[in-house]
Amino acid sequence: MLRQRARVVEQFDNELRQLARDMVDTMHEADGIGLAAQQIGKTLSICVVDIPEKGDSDEEGNRLHPDVEMPLVLINPRVADSSEETSSYEEGCLSFPDITGPVIRPDDVTVNYQDLDGNEHTISAGFLLGRCMQHEIDHLNGVLFIDRMSHVKRVALGGKLKRLKKKTAGK
């Protein structure tokens, strides 16, 4: 399921709103900051993000993205633009418990998406919010954070990944 590309959401109805609420609840219960539909067995282009205020603040405590209301529901999101500047950050994923690793991503991204009513929006973000959106949009495209790790790191995680695959086979 995690390798499947998401289908475009065309129906903006109460069923979609309920799915978004359920995804936010699931993300919070797992102490996550992002969740894509594939992670709960759906192949729809929807993901949710909820960056805590502390994770979206600079050293002085100023909010980096004060106009972004959390949790954020992104429907049919796509990265429209990204910075040439990149950085490495230790990422994890709710679908890969106890597995983390350095992932290089653009520092800043611009994402086009729709809200629960089908209205179009654009958001530009960096830091944890930008990284989290990139991670979740990758999920919607069937790309996993382990795919973005170095070959050496994937080899080092090989045993853990094989055990996880065996444990979750058929689920």
The confidence score (pLDDT) of residue 18 equals 98
The confidence band for 27, taking pLDDT boundaries of 50, 70 and 90, is: very high
Name the burial class of residue 138, with classes exposed (0-12), middle (13-18) and buried (19+) by CB atoms within 10 angstroms of its CB: buried
Q: Cα-flanking dihedrals φ and ψ of residue 126, to 5°? A: -130, -165
Counting residues of the chain whose pLDDT is more than 90, the rounded percentage is: 82
The confidence score (pLDDT) of residue 153 equals 86
Cα 90 to chain centroid distance, Å, stands at 14
The confidence score (pLDDT) of residue 110 equals 98
Q: Do 44 and 36 meet the contact criterion of CB atoms below 8 Å apart?
A: no
The closest alpha carbon to 132, from 98, 112, 105, belongs to: 105
Tell me the residue ranges of DSSP E strands in the chain: 34-36, 46-49, 72-82, 86-92, 100-106, 108-114, 120-126
The confidence score (pLDDT) of residue 159 equals 84
Residue 145 lies in a domain: yes
Q: Which of 3-17, 54-68, 123-137 shows the lowest mean pLDDT across its residues?
A: 54-68
Residue 50 lies in a domain: yes
Catalytic residue among 15, 85, 120, 136: 136
Residue 5 lies in a domain: no
Residue 56 lies in a domain: yes
Domain count, the chain: 1
Range of the domain at 97: 14-168
Answer whether residue 1 shows pLDDT above 70: yes
Residue 8 lies in a domain: no
Residue 9 lies in a domain: no
Using CA atoms, how far residue 73 sits from 10, 76, 98, 117, in Å, is 15, 10, 26, 11
The confidence score (pLDDT) of residue 50 equals 98
The confidence score (pLDDT) of residue 170 equals 61
The confidence score (pLDDT) of residue 158 equals 79
Query: What CATH number has the domain bearing residue 109?
Result: 3.90.45.10
Does 10 qualify as catalytic in the annotation? no
Which amino acid is located at 5 in the chain?
A: R
The confidence band for 171, taking pLDDT boundaries of 50, 70 and 90, is: low
Predicted structure pTM score: 0.93
Residue 91 lies in a domain: yes
Residue 116 lies in a domain: yes
In the predicted model, what is the mean pLDDT of residues 10-35? 97
What pLDDT digit, counting tens, does each position of 100-116 carry?
Answer: 999 999 999 999 999 99
Residue 64 is classified by DSSP as S
